[in-house]
Amino acid sequence: MVVKRPQVAVAVLVPVLVMFGIGLWGIDRGGMWRDEAVTFQVARRSLPQIWQLLHSVDAVHGLYYLLMHPVLAVHPGEVALRLPSLCAAAATAGLVAALGARLARPRVGLWAGLLYAVTPMAGHFAQEGRSYALVAAGVAASTLLLARAVTADADGDGGGGQGGSGGGGRGGDQEDAPVGRLARHARVVGWCAYGGVVAVTVLLHEFAVLVLIAHAATLALARMPRRVWRDWACAAGAVLLVLLPLALISSGQAEQVAWLRPPGGGTVERLLRSFTGPTMLVLGPYLLLIALALRHPFTPPARRGELSVPTVALPLLLLPPAVLIVVSRHWPLYDDRYVLYALAGAPLLAAAGAERLVLAARRAGLARCETEGLMRGSGGAPDSAPDSDPALVRGVRVPYAATLVGVLAITLAFVSQLPVLREDRDPARRPDNLAVVSAAAAQRMSPGDPVLFLPSLGRRSALAYPKGFQGTRDIALEEPAPVSGTLYGRETGPDELRRRLAGLDRVWVVAEPYALKSAWFPSEPTERVKLTVVGEEFVPRAEFVRKGSILRLYVRRAPTM
């Protein structure tokens, strides 16, 4: 976006810096959790190894792994792992601000961008080594490009086909033809840019395709002409063609989302609090401002075909989560991180509601000033005093005072949510901390000790932090993960595993908590052998328990007489 006014530049830059600062705070929290560990170990493989993996698992994240490959090749570490997400979150805050400034005015953009930056959900995924923050940036960028493409479509209508009626003659045709070609070129470039960004975004995560439903609703609410619909349909069709191969491949890898469950009764409320604020001190005013922005949600724009904040933000906020939740009632696919990109609609609507408050207050102030002026005029008093300008309040211009008041209110919302943001920087807030498991292994295991991972995905701690397991023997492993084209390696068969365990007097087991419960019955024969042999021939001697992982030493049972 070309910034033409200093106010717009400030409105975009300030949220970018604020989001970057919030995301940078505590980004090196001292441990990766399981999903980040997958990114870390897969992106560090060679490109042929990554390509081999995607044929069997994680195709939906393939482009993200390829993008992260050169990042982690420079300096593999937790900060480098999360830095692309941080930059994407900062860019999203700026894009939300740019969208608000384009659809309304710079201060609306500034408020919207800052609201996005201080939302705990945005800060959370700014520190995740996964693709969701990048997807949110792509959706925000595509929405801004949609607004620009619609404008270019309107400006390019009939530019070159109009002759010089009324005396223009042939000379008018020659003069207008280049202008028409330039307008058509701008329109084509605008829609190609829109389609390209959406295509890359859906390749980062295929559920981002739901943004096309939101954008279609935007065009419908704005009563766009048929020409705009035609151009948008061409771009959307190209996106779907790009997505089709990935959708076919990932449908064959549906077991990756088998852990998801149908959304419950509290799903909508939890998502609402994530999008606005977890505390009532923030949630209440936030919802009030959104209600003000939607007081006349379907009022036609000032001119047919014009976009407004509600027509853009409301479909983005509601439709992708609603569609995914409804589908998940029958085919569980919903998780709040999959619709992180819809968050951008909430701050835009809240900022638009705040703008309505400011305009209402200003109209009331103008009416009061006019009334006082009439009263002074009727009494013969002069009404040309310097402080009689209704645009001034004690020497400060109302627009700037209102902007500062809005920024102050957002600062108070940020301060009230500081405890939430601080807690989110604690590694214990994630499902697990693989660094702690590796550190415990380093303290308790000795070189040559046999290790059994139950199930095989428990090996992720050793893959993410191999130093803690250095020198130990992975009893069940047949082929390492990078070579085998799998996430966690290929294990030996059940008979061979029995033979290997038969010669051991002690074995360390790194287990998922559910794997040690009697209700768990694995389908893989090798996993069943692990459970059977360890349970029948060994007894636990020592244990280290950490959220998400259990490290337990087993010793062979004494022979019975």
Say if 406 falls within a structural domain.
no
- Please tell me whether residue 506 adopts helix, strand or coil conformation: strand
Distance CA 254, CA 136 (A): 23
Query: Angle at CA 297, nearest 5°, toward 146 and 147?
Result: 10
How is residue 153 written in tokens? 């479509």
Strand partners, 474: 451
How far apart are the C-alpha atoms of 357 and 62, rounded to whole Å?
Answer: 46
Is residue 421 within 8 A of residue 22, CB to CB? The reply is yes
Domain range for 514: 431-556
Retrieve residue 514's tokens. Answer: 């559910």
Q: How many CB atoms lie within 10 A of CB 190?
A: 23
487 lies in some domain: yes
CB-CB contact of 406 with 9 (8 Å): no
CA angle 436, 440, 442 (to 5 degrees): 115
pLDDT value at residue 161: 39
Distance of CA 486 to the CA centre of its chain: 26
- In a domain, residue 435? The reply is yes
Predicted confidence at residue 386, as pLDDT, reads 43
The alpha carbon of residue 379 and the mean position of all alpha carbons in its chain are separated, in whole angstroms, by 62
| Residue 29 covered by a domain | no
413: tokens are: 């919302």
- How far lies 439's CA from each of 90, 306, 435, 449, 488, in Å? 33, 58, 6, 15, 20
User: Quick one: 384 exposed, middle or buried, by C-beta within 10 A (0-12, 13-18, 19+)?
Assistant: exposed
Enter the DSSP assignment of 206: G
How wide is the angle at C-alpha 127 spanned by C-alphas 125 and 128, nearest 5°? 65
Confidence at residue 354, expressed as pLDDT on a 0 to 100 scale: 94
Report the distance separating Cα 306 and Cα 150, nearest Å: 8
Q: Total domain count for the chain? A: 1
pLDDT tens sequence for the chain (561 residues): 444 578 999 999 999 999 999 999 999 988 899 999 999 999 999 999 999 999 989 999 999 999 999 999 988 999 999 999 999 999 999 999 999 999 999 999 999 999 999 999 999 999 999 999 999 999 999 999 999 999 876 665 544 433 343 444 444 455 456 656 777 878 889 999 999 999 999 999 999 999 999 999 999 999 999 999 999 999 999 999 999 999 999 988 888 888 889 998 899 999 999 999 888 889 999 999 999 999 875 554 556 678 999 999 999 999 999 999 999 999 999 999 999 999 999 999 999 999 999 888 887 766 666 666 666 655 544 444 444 444 444 444 556 888 999 999 999 999 999 999 999 998 888 888 999 999 999 999 999 999 999 999 999 999 999 999 999 999 999 999 999 999 999 999 999 999 999 989 999 999 998 888 878 888 899 999 999 999 899 999 998 988 778 999 999 988 765
Q: What is the DSSP string of 349-417?
A: HHHHHHHHHHHHHHHHHHHHHHHHHHHHHHTT-----GGG-TTEETTEEHHHHHHHHHHHHHHHHHHHT
Contact 551, 444 (CB under 8 A): yes
Structure tokens at 28: 């090196």
Length of the chain: 561
φ/ψ of 71, rounded to 5, equals -65, -50
Measured N-to-C along each axis, helices 62-74 and 47-54 cross at an angle, to the nearest 10 degrees, of 160
Supply the pLDDT for residue 1: 40
Q: Is position 501 within any domain?
A: yes
Contact indicator for 40, 76 with CB cutoff of 8 Å: yes
Residue 490 lies in a domain: yes
SS (H, E, C) 107-167: HHHHHHHHHHHHCHHHHHHCCCCCCHHHHHHHHHHHHHHHHHHHHHHHHCCCCCCCCECCC
Alpha carbons within 13 A on the beta-carbon side of 349: 29
Q: Please give the pLDDT value at position 168.
A: 44
CATH of the domain at 533: 3.40.50
- pLDDT of the residue at 282: 92
Residue 506 in domain: yes
| 520 belongs to a structural domain | yes
